[in-house]
Structure 1
Amino acid sequence: MADSAAVAGSGRPSRAGVAEDPVRVWRGLAGSHVLLDGFHALKHALRFDARIPVALTADKPAVLALAEDLAPDVTAALDVLLAETDEVTLRALVPRLHPTAVAALAVRPSRAANLGVLERAPRSAPVVVLDDPRNLGNAGAVIRLAAGFGATGVVTTGTLDPWHPTVVRGGAGLHFATAVERVDVPELPAGPLFALDAEGEDIRGLEIPDDAVLAFGSERSGLSAGLRARADHLVSLPMRPQVSSYNLATSVGMTLFHWSSGRPDRLTARQPEA
């Protein structure tokens, strides 16, 4: 982090010994780096060791005061990392500026590194699979949930990019707390595949193992035929008659809670406030 902080906080010396303009650094990296949109995304990325070459704000004292109030563990890092610019410039760089008036660019973890985490055995927590999801915000909410429960990772099938800026915004920067990748169904991580389906066995009578792969269908069409055919178990969530379905993130949260409920040691360590 120290090298990255030097870029944004005090400037990175050029070959001529002149510090680089953080706005120029941003423009050079935009499009190839992950946009961290808002204080909470930047906070979580810092906590989970993201590499952040540049971070900008229109009001550094206000951001540092917010950090001191909500996340004092990252205040010192933010003080070094943040560079201040005017709001007009910042809005030109980030048209949908977060109300906290802070944004940063981070290095996306390599696909090889994420796949290595997903394929490691034995696993101590499940992998969540979103089968051909369509809603970017829902995908982000799932990643945030999975990170909170300590899931090994979240993988998507289909065309949705799980690192799309809207997904990252919905995930509040917690992509860096778990392995997030897009794969094809034949490339899913090894492990018993539990697929959520209305016709499946009631989850309350099942024990979900730590190395499970938990698959959830798209919001509109459910599980694809290919994934359903690969499932070792079809699982249903309890639901009142005549209620059509749960929101995708709600279904993931209920399933991960069921997995974690018999393992109190998984989440007992006190974590910083979200």
Structure 2
Amino acid sequence: MTDAAHDPAAASPDPVAAWRRAAPDAVLLDGFHALKHAVRFGAEVLTALTADRAGALTLADELAEDVRDAMAALLTEVPYGTYASLVPRPHPTALAALAVRPGRADNLARLAHAPRTAPVVVLDQPRNLGNAGAVVRLAAGFGATGVVTTGTLDPWHPTVVRGGAGLHFATAVERLTVDELPPGPVFALDPEGEDIRSLKLPDDALLAFGSERSGLSPELRARADHLVALPMRPQVSSYNLATSVAMTLYHWSAAGGAPS
């Protein structure tokens, strides 16, 4: 059967109207890779529009053969101007989709499940949306149980999802207060802590990282069971947040944690 036979345009005479109905409550998947990952990890995709359907499917043939047919069934082609009018910032792949956000109750159950076989990353009052998205991508790649943010930043903000390349659907992502954090020993990153190279991070750990500007909040510091420091040359003040998360997750995984 041809791709055209699967084209949702045949069943949806007004894909733009369908997009506008769904957009207020849906997660924006910005670009080919965001849609690829969302489909791969079981997202419920409501609609997907592109200004270059053939180009998107060529990318799928090259980079995502496992979900190529599913993407072909979802994608509807519209003029570039129409596509661009529906998104905050056009993506180079000229593709966007809308998906259902995973249920909070399901995410909280995943975060609290015991025994946990991989850590939860906690971003304590983060400020930078792009950094938060990069952390979600890292957590998904390392097989972390999830990413939790405290404070005002919405971890499902479109800019965070864009930075995460759709990998919010590969891990549990939620915003909680410090009092609502899932159970487990808290290993909080702090320059005054114990050198991480002397420690083995347990699989059920909460790995907590302070904000880019002010470090750990007093509430999170009081909740910490261990303060942990990354090796750093004297007179260098700090690492980027995503870099710190990557180094810490690598240290955990080097002791035998996921991925297999």
In the alignment, the residues of structure 2 paired with residue 26 and residue 242 of structure 1 have an alpha-carbon distance, to the nearest angstrom, of: 51
Amino acid at match of 2:99: A
Under a length normalisation based on structure 2, what TM-score does the superposition of the two structures give?
A: 0.96
Runs of 4 or more, structure 1, over 4 Å off, are none
Query: Could you tell me which of 59, 67, 72 is aligned with 1:79?
Result: 72
Letter of the aligned partner of 2:8 in structure 1?
S
Is 1:10 the equivalent of 2:8? yes
**Residue 74 of structure 1: how far off its partner (Å):** 1.4
Q: What is the distance in 2 between the residues matched to 1:91 and 1:198? A: 45
Query: 2:150 aligned with 1:138, yes or no?
Result: no
Q: 2:81 aligns with which of 88, 101, 108?
A: 88
Measured against aligned partners, the alpha-carbon deviations of 1:199-244 in whole angstroms (never above 9, x if no partner) come to 0000000010000000000000000001001100000000000000
1:9 shift after superposition: 3.5
1:47-196 counterparts in 2 under 5 A? Answer: 47-196=40-189
Deviation, structure 1 residue 95: 3.6
Aligned partners of 2:10, 2:221: CA distance in 1, in Å? 52
Which position in structure 1 is the counterpart of 2:226?
233
Give the AA of the match of 2:230.
L
Matched, 1:248 2:241: yes
CA shift, 1:11, in A, is 5.0
AA aligned to 2:164 is G
Whole-angstrom distance in 1 between the partners of 2:145 and 2:51: 36
| Whole-angstrom CA distance in 2 between matches of 1:78 and 1:153 | 26
1:30 to 20, 23, 39: 23
CA offset at residue 71 of structure 1? 1.3
For 2:215, give the aligned amino acid.
G
What is the CA distance between 1:73 and its match in structure 2? 1.2
Please state whether the residue corresponding to 2:69 is helix, strand or coil: helix
RMSD: 1.2
Question: Unaligned stretches of 5+ in structure 1?
Answer: 1-7, 14-18, 269-274
How do 1:263-274 and structure 2 match up within 5 A?
263=256, 266-268=258-260
Give the fraction of aligned pairs with identical amino acids, expressed as a percent: 71
Aligned to 2:3: none
Structure 1-normalised TM-score? 0.91
CA distance in 2, matches of 1:57, 1:202: 49
